[in-house]
Amino acid sequence: MTDGQVLVAIENPKPGRDYTVRCSTPELTCNCPVTGQPDFATVTIEYVPAELIVELKSLKLYLWGYRNQGAYHEEITNRILDDLAGLLKPKSMTVTTDWYVRGGIQTTVVAAHP
Amino acid sequence: MTDGQVLVAIENPKPGRDYTVRCSTPELTCNCPVTGQPDFATVTIEYVPAELIVELKSLKLYLWGYRNQGAYHEEITNRILDDLAGLLKPKSMTVTTDWYVRGGIQTTVVAAHP
Amino acid sequence: MTDGQVLVAIENPKPGRDYTVRCSTPELTCNCPVTGQPDFATVTIEYVPAELIVELKSLKLYLWGYRNQGAYHEEITNRILDDLAGLLKPKSMTVTTDWYVRGGIQTTVVAAHP
Amino acid sequence: MTDGQVLVAIENPKPGRDYTVRCSTPELTCNCPVTGQPDFATVTIEYVPAELIVELKSLKLYLWGYRNQGAYHEEITNRILDDLAGLLKPKSMTVTTDWYVRGGIQTTVVAAHP
Amino acid sequence: MTDGQVLVAIENPKPGRDYTVRCSTPELTCNCPVTGQPDFATVTIEYVPAELIVELKSLKLYLWGYRNQGAYHEEITNRILDDLAGLLKPKSMTVTTDWYVRGGIQTTVVAAHP
Amino acid sequence: MTDGQVLVAIENPKPGRDYTVRCSTPELTCNCPVTGQPDFATVTIEYVPAELIVELKSLKLYLWGYRNQGAYHEEITNRILDDLAGLLKPKSMTVTTDWYVRGGIQTTVVAAHP
Amino acid sequence: MTDGQVLVAIENPKPGRDYTVRCSTPELTCNCPVTGQPDFATVTIEYVPAELIVELKSLKLYLWGYRNQGAYHEEITNRILDDLAGLLKPKSMTVTTDWYVRGGIQTTVVAAHP
Amino acid sequence: MTDGQVLVAIENPKPGRDYTVRCSTPELTCNCPVTGQPDFATVTIEYVPAELIVELKSLKLYLWGYRNQGAYHEEITNRILDDLAGLLKPKSMTVTTDWYVRGGIQTTVVAAHP
Amino acid sequence: MTDGQVLVAIENPKPGRDYTVRCSTPELTCNCPVTGQPDFATVTIEYVPAELIVELKSLKLYLWGYRNQGAYHEEITNRILDDLAGLLKPKSMTVTTDWYVRGGIQTTVVAAHP
Amino acid sequence: MTDGQVLVAIENPKPGRDYTVRCSTPELTCNCPVTGQPDFATVTIEYVPAELIVELKSLKLYLWGYRNQGAYHEEITNRILDDLAGLLKPKSMTVTTDWYVRGGIQTTVVAAHP
Alpha-carbon distance values, I16 to A74, I9, I64, I91 (Å): 13, 18, 32, 12
Angle subtended at Cα C109 by Cα C107 and Cα C110, rounded to the nearest 5 degrees: 150
Catalytic residue among G39, G82, G83, G98: G39
User: Under an 8 A CB cutoff, do J104 and B101 touch?
Assistant: yes
Question: Which tens digit of pLDDT belongs to each residue from A80-113?
Answer: 999 999 999 999 999 999 999 999 999 999 999 9
H55 has pLDDT over 50:
yes
Pick D13's closest partner by Cβ from J74, J107, J112.
Answer: J74
Pick A105's closest partner by Cβ from I49, I53, I60.
Answer: I60
State whether the Cα torsion G49-G54-G59-G63 is positive or negative: negative
User: Under an 8 A CB cutoff, do B25 and C102 touch?
Assistant: no
H13 and H51 in contact (C-beta within 8 Å)?
no
Whether C32 is catalytic: yes
Contacts of D112 in chain E (CB under 8 A): 17-19
How many residue pairs from chains B and C have C-beta atoms closer than 8 A?
58
User: Under an 8 A CB cutoff, do A24 and B75 touch?
Assistant: no
Q: How many CB atoms lie within 10 A of CB G18?
A: 13
User: Under an 8 A CB cutoff, do F64 and G37 touch?
Assistant: yes
Question: Which tens digit of pLDDT belongs to each residue from C45-84?
Answer: 999 999 999 999 999 999 999 998 998 999 999 999 999 9
Find chains touching chain H: ≥3 CB pairs under 8 Å.
A, F, I, J
Segments in chain D below pLDDT 50: 1-4
Q: In Å, how far is H57's CA from the nearest CA of chain I?
A: 12
Whether D32 is catalytic: yes
Distance CA(J66)–CA(J30), nearest Å, equals 5
E1 has pLDDT over 70:
no
A15: left (phi over 0), alpha (psi -120 to 50) or beta: alpha
Extract the runs of DSSP E, i.e. beta strands, from chain A: 9-11, 19-31, 38-48, 52-54, 92-102, 105-113
E110 and F19 in contact (C-beta within 8 Å)?
yes
Residue of chain I minimizing CA distance to G59: I105
Catalytic residue among I23, I32, I82, I83: I32
F3 has pLDDT over 80:
no
pLDDT band at G5; cut points 50, 70, 90: low
Contacts of C67 in chain E (CB under 8 A): 38, 67
Contacts of B27 in chain C (CB under 8 A): 104
pLDDT at B1: 40
- Residue D3 exposure: Cα atoms within 13 Å on the Cβ side: 4
Q: Which residues share a beta bridge with I42?
A: I98
Contacts of E101 in chain G (CB under 8 A): 100-101, 104
DSSP secondary structure code for residue H16 in this structure: T
B6 and B70 in contact (C-beta within 8 Å)?
no
Contacts of J13 in chain H (CB under 8 A): 72, 74-75, 78
Question: Which tens digit of pLDDT belongs to each residue from F42-60?
Answer: 999 999 999 999 999 999 9
Q: Specify if E1 maps to a domain.
A: no
State whether the Cα torsion J6-J12-J13-J18 is positive or negative: positive
pLDDT at J5: 64
pLDDT at H3: 47
Pick E20's closest partner by Cβ from D75, D102, D110.
Answer: D110
Residue of chain E minimizing CA distance to D97: E21
Task: Give the mutation candidate from F32, F37, F62, F69 for the G interface (greatest G CB count, under 10 A).
Answer: F37
Residue J47 lies in domain: 9-113
Helices (H) and strands (E) counted in chain D, each on its own, are 2, 6
Find chains touching chain B: ≥3 CB pairs under 8 Å.
A, C, D, J
Question: Which tens digit of pLDDT belongs to each residue from G14-40?
Answer: 999 999 999 999 999 999 888 889 999
Per-residue pLDDT tens, chain I, 114 aa: give them.
444 468 999 999 999 999 999 999 999 999 988 888 999 999 999 999 999 999 999 999 999 999 989 988 999 999 999 999 999 999 999 999 999 999 999 999 999 998
Tell me if there are at least 3 CB pairs under 8 Å linking chains I and B.
no
Alpha-carbon distance values, J90 to H110, J49, J107, J114 (Å): 15, 5, 27, 9
Mean predicted confidence (pLDDT) in B73-84: 96
User: Under an 8 A CB cutoff, do E26 and C40 touch?
Assistant: yes
Question: Which tens digit of pLDDT belongs to each residue from D76-87?
Answer: 999 999 999 999
pLDDT at C2: 45
pLDDT at H2: 44
G9 has pLDDT over 50:
yes
Q: Specify if I2 maps to a domain.
A: no
Mean predicted confidence (pLDDT) in E53-80: 94
pLDDT at D34: 83
Distance CA(H29)–CA(I72), nearest Å, equals 20
Contacts of C113 in chain B (CB under 8 A): 17
pLDDT at J71: 86
State whether the Cα torsion A39-A44-A50-A52 is positive or negative: positive
Evaluate the omega torsion of the peptide bond into residue E49 and state whether it is cis, within 30 degrees of 0. no
Q: In Å, how far is A14's CA from the nearest CA of chain B?
A: 7
Question: Which tens digit of pLDDT belongs to each residue from H86-108?
Answer: 999 999 999 999 999 999 999 99
Q: Specify if F87 maps to a domain.
A: yes
Please classify residue E3 by burial: count the beta carbons closer than 10 Å to its beta carbon, then call 0-12 exposed, 13-18 middle and 19+ buried.
Answer: exposed
Residue of chain C minimizing CA distance to B19: C111
Please classify residue J114 by burial: count the beta carbons closer than 10 Å to its beta carbon, then call 0-12 exposed, 13-18 middle and 19+ buried.
Answer: exposed
H14 and H62 in contact (C-beta within 8 Å)?
no
Q: In Å, how far is J41's CA from the nearest CA of chain H?
A: 13
Q: In Å, how far is D13's CA from the nearest CA of chain E?
A: 30
Q: In Å, how far is C55's CA from the nearest CA of chain D?
A: 33
Q: How many CB atoms lie within 10 A of CB C27?
A: 22
AA identity, residue C9: A
Q: Specify if D4 maps to a domain.
A: no
CATH number for the domain that contains residue D84: 3.30.1130.10
Question: Which tens digit of pLDDT belongs to each residue from F8-28?
Answer: 999 999 999 999 999 999 999
Please give the torsion angle defined by the CA atoms of residues D66, D69, D72 and D74, in that order, rounded to the nearest 10 degrees.
-30
AA identity, residue E58: S
Catalytic residue among J23, J32, J82, J83: J32
Q: Provide the domain count of chain D.
A: 1
Q: Are strands C19-31 and G105-113 parallel, antiparallel or unpaired?
A: antiparallel
Q: Specify if D3 maps to a domain.
A: no
Question: Which tens digit of pLDDT belongs to each residue from J52-110?
Answer: 999 999 999 999 999 999 989 999 999 999 999 999 999 999 999 999 999 999 999 99
pLDDT at H5: 63
J60 and J23 in contact (C-beta within 8 Å)?
no
Find chains touching chain J: ≥3 CB pairs under 8 Å.
A, B, D, H
Q: What is the DSSP string of E22-63?
A: EEEEEEEEEE-TTT--EEEEEEEEEEE-SSEEE-HHHHHHHH
Q: Specify if A49 maps to a domain.
A: yes
Residue of chain C minimizing CA distance to D101: C104
Pick B110's closest partner by Cβ from A19, A25, A53.
Answer: A19
User: Under an 8 A CB cutoff, do J105 and D59 touch?
Assistant: yes
Q: Specify if E90 maps to a domain.
A: yes
Alpha-carbon distance values, A20 to A43, B21, B40, B77, G5 (Å): 16, 21, 19, 10, 55
Minimal CA–CA distance to D38: which of I29, E48, C104? Answer: C104
H112 and H88 in contact (C-beta within 8 Å)?
no
Residue of chain B minimizing CA distance to C112: B19
Provide the percentage of residues in chain F whose pLDDT is more than 70. 96
pLDDT band at C17; cut points 50, 70, 90: very high
Distance CA(E79)–CA(E7), nearest Å, equals 13
Secondary structure class of B71 (helix, strand, coil): coil
Pick J100's closest partner by Cβ from B40, B100, B104.
Answer: B104
Pick J22's closest partner by Cβ from H104, H108, H113.
Answer: H108
Find chains touching chain G: ≥3 CB pairs under 8 Å.
C, E, F, I
Segments in chain A below pLDDT 70: 1-5
- Residue J43 exposure: Cα atoms within 13 Å on the Cβ side: 26
Pick F27's closest partner by Cβ from G64, G67, G100.
Answer: G100
Q: In Å, how far is D16's CA from the nearest CA of chain B?
A: 33
Q: Are strands C19-31 and C52-54 parallel, antiparallel or unpaired?
A: unpaired
* Helix H or strand E segment including I84: helix I73-88
AA identity, residue A52: L
Mean predicted confidence (pLDDT) in G42-70: 95
| Least confident among G4-13, G66-75, H49-58 | G4-13
pLDDT at J36: 86
Task: Give the mutation candidate from G2, G28, G29 for the F interface (greatest F CB count, under 10 A).
Answer: G29
Q: Specify if J2 maps to a domain.
A: no
Helices (H) and strands (E) counted in chain I, each on its own, are 2, 6
Distance CA(B109)–CA(B114), nearest Å, equals 16
Catalytic residue among C32, C82, C83, C98: C32
Residue of chain E minimizing CA distance to F25: E105
G89 and G52 in contact (C-beta within 8 Å)?
yes
Q: In Å, how far is D4's CA from the nearest CA of chain E?
A: 24
User: Under an 8 A CB cutoff, do I26 and H37 touch?
Assistant: no
Secondary structure class of H15 (helix, strand, coil): coil
Distance CA(F8)–CA(E73), nearest Å, equals 16
- As for the ipTM of the complex, it is 0.90
Provide the percentage of residues in chain F whose pLDDT is more than 90. 85
Question: Which tens digit of pLDDT belongs to each residue from J2-55?
Answer: 444 689 999 999 999 999 999 999 999 999 888 889 999 999 999 999 999 999
Task: Give the mutation candidate from G101, G105, G106 for the E interface (greatest E CB count, under 10 A).
Answer: G101
